């Protein structure tokens, strides 16, 4: 059981968020101590607008960690911690770590605290933010002292101490990154999120999960059949997916750790499951009554009610963040187009008018946009649309076929499938503006249909 010690914070709003963060982490099986180093007079930082399509990455200097005792193990683990921290910050769409060759001073030698830092050494090389660290090892346990500074204001923004086993250095660093994200953006970020996806294994399709950055890959299913459309519940305890293991496509609802679950038992097609935010209910497309329509299901896969009823198929549902509306694909107007339906009022609104085929829509975490797949001139690409303006913006182009978009929990990024490298489907990530597109995973076989989970330490 995790034990957290939280010092008194400078503002009740931040205290609430820190308590929420600490309580959620109590599910972890390891123990480490977290202590705040924040002064009582610390000030709020002006938030970075991660939704700004013209956002310029903020330069941050990450210094070498000070090895308190100078032991080889401290030096090596300090190097590992710094590398994890650097890669995590570079993964975001709004921070860029600087080359250490440009550094004019070394806090690992001169001092890592506010009064020991010459901030002009950092503003002089263009570093707007600075991170210092110290590592202390005792009998296989590690203490990390981490500080995050605004160099131009010469102020400490975040200060934390984490204590735990060496095996949890990655967890400690990512927890600190979540604190940085919250300080800069007002959101806890991506650092405790996971991605479910499909990958081929000996010619069959199985469900896998990994961390936000592609680490800690784990195979979840072993049906030795075809699995499709994985979807993680809001608490990440349950996985819904489609499998042909029993012949026709059925929806499997599985508790990932307890190895128990349920299966839909309907005739015809049972496809495209999607979890309702904050609840253990699903939307899915079922065809037992004729063509495919969208239904609301319980955790056990039992039908609660029918959501759509129209000529033409209705598939690929996705909930709004408040769970009151669904976005889906319908052929009711003749070709597959994106629609939004208010579940209570039953009002339906068509969203896409350009292109003969638009599908796979997903709602952004702030509820303001949808990302979807559009097919034009035999080219498959990802688009984003402001729900109020209804003006599509194309994010991918001239780079193979691009499908299966899914938002990061803070809305700053999208994960998607692309076959741009040799015609083989792989999983990529990009900033929400479409910039910085890069491959996430390098596995054997083919990967597709990523689903980015909510982060456990986000509280909206």
For the chain, the structural domain boundaries read 12-185, 194-452
The predicted pLDDT at position 44 comes to 59
The residue with greater pLDDT, 15 or 238, is 238
Read off the pLDDT band of 50 (50, 70, 90): confident
Contacts of 149 (CB under 8 A, 6+ apart): 114, 117, 119, 129, 130, 131, 132, 155, 156, 157
pLDDT tens track for 132-189 = 999 999 988 999 999 999 999 999 999 999 999 999 999 999 999 999 999 999 999 9
pLDDT for residue 14 is more than 80: no
Classify domain 12-185 at the CATH class level: alpha beta
Lowest mean pLDDT among 95-99, 108-112, 291-295, 454-458: 454-458
- Residue pair 432/50 in contact (Cβ under 8 Å)? The answer is yes
Return the CA Rg of the chain.
23
Task: Tell me the pLDDT band of 30, cut-offs 50, 70 and 90.
Answer: very low
| CATH superfamily ID and name for 194-452 | TolB, C-terminal domain (2.120.10.30)
């Amino acid at each position: 059981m995790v034990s957290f010690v939280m010092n008194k914070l400078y503002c009740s709003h931040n205290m609430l968020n820190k308590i929420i963060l600490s309580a959620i982490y109590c599910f972890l099986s390891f123990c480490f101590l977290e202590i705040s180093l924040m002064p009582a007079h610390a000030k709020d930082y002006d938030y970075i607008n991660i939704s700004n399509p013209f956002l310029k990455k903020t330069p941050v200097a990450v210094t070498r960690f000070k090895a308190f005792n100078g032991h080889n193990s401290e030096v090596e683990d300090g190097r590992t911690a710094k590398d994890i921290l650097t890669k995590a910050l570079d993964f975001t769409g709004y921070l860029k770590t600087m080359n250490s060759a440009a550094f004019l001073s070394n806090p690992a030698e001169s001092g890592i605290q506010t009064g020991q830092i010459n901030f002009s050494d950092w503003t002089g090389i263009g570093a707007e933010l600075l991170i210092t660290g110290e590592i202390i090892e005792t009998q296989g346990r590690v203490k990390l002292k981490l500080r995050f500074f605004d160099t131009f204001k010469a102020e400490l923004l975040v200060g934390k101490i984490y204590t735990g086993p060496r095996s949890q250095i990655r967890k400690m660093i990512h927890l600190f990154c979540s604190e940085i994200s919250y300080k800069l953006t007002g959101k806890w970020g991506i650092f405790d999120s996971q991605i479910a996806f499909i990958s081929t294994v000996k010619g069959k399709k199985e469900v896998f999960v990994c961390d936000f950055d592609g680490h800690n890959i784990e195979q979840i299913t072993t049906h030795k059949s075809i699995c499709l459309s994985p979807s993680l519940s809001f608490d990440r305890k349950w996985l819904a997916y489609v499998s042909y293991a029993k012949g026709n496509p059925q929806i499997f609802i599985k508790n990932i750790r307890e190895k128990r679950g349920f299966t839909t038992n309907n005739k015809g097609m049972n496809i495209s499951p999607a979890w309702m935010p904050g609840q253990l209910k699903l939307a899915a497309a079922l065809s037992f009554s004729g063509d495919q329509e969208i239904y609301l299901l319980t955790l056990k896969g039992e039908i609660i009610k029918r959501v759509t009823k129209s000529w033409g198929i209705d598939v690929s549902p996705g909930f709004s963040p408040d769970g009151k509306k669904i976005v889906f694909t319908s052929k009711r107007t003749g070709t597959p187009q994106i629609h939004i339906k208010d579940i209570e009022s039953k009002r339906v609104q068509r969203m896409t008018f350009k292109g003969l085929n638009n599908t796979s829509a997903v709602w952004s975490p702030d509820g303001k946009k949808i990302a979807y797949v559009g097919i034009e001139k035999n080219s498959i690409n990802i688009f984003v649309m402001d729900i109020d303006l209804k003006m599509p913006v194309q994010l991918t182009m001239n780079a193979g076929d691009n499908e299966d978009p899914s938002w990061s929990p803070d809305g700053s990024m999208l994960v998607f499938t692309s076959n741009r490298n040799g015609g083989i489907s792989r999983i990529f990530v990009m900033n929400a503006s479409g910039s910085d597109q890069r491959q996430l995973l390098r596995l054997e076989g083919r990967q597709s249909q990523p689903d980015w989970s909510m982060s456990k330490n986000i509280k909206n």
